[in-house]
Amino acid sequence: MTRILVINGPNLNLLGLREPQVYGHETLADIVNDLRSYAADRGVELSDFQSNSEGELVSAIHASRETVDGIILNAGAYTHYSIALRDAISGVALPVVETHLSNVHSREAFRHETVLAPVCLGVVAGFGRHSYFVALEALLRHLGHEAG
């Protein structure tokens, strides 16, 4: 069975409350539960992890090295400056899709730079909750996963 880990970084635990005009009204649990059902329909086991701590995110990536086939990562603000996350991604040699709810390129200039993208399989941004589903589909295609 294909196993995917969804990792969410800082402030994503506040989805539904934090800037709903940017991030929407759904909670992270709503999105992850729907994504888990979507994955299960395709014969994929989906697990998730959220932390506001950079070190815990790095540890989650390290721990996934031999337990999952790929990662969907919304690193939040760490996307723009975390060399530690970048090195963790490089170190585990798993396919990672960087994912964002908002279009980071249409927002403040500091959000335009991602230090993670060069070590990721690809980047999906700007589609709200659907960014996670697009990321999952891209990751599954990359892995050659056959549905069911």
Q: How far apart are CA 116 and CA 125, in angstroms?
A: 13
Catalytic positions, please? 23, 100
The answer to whether residues 71 and 7 touch, using CB atoms and an 8 Å cutoff, is yes
Burial class (CB in 10 A: 0-12, 13-18, 19+), 20: exposed
**Distance from chain centroid for Cα 51:** 12
In this structure, the chain runs to a length of 148
Q: How far apart are CA 45 and CA 17, in angstroms?
A: 28
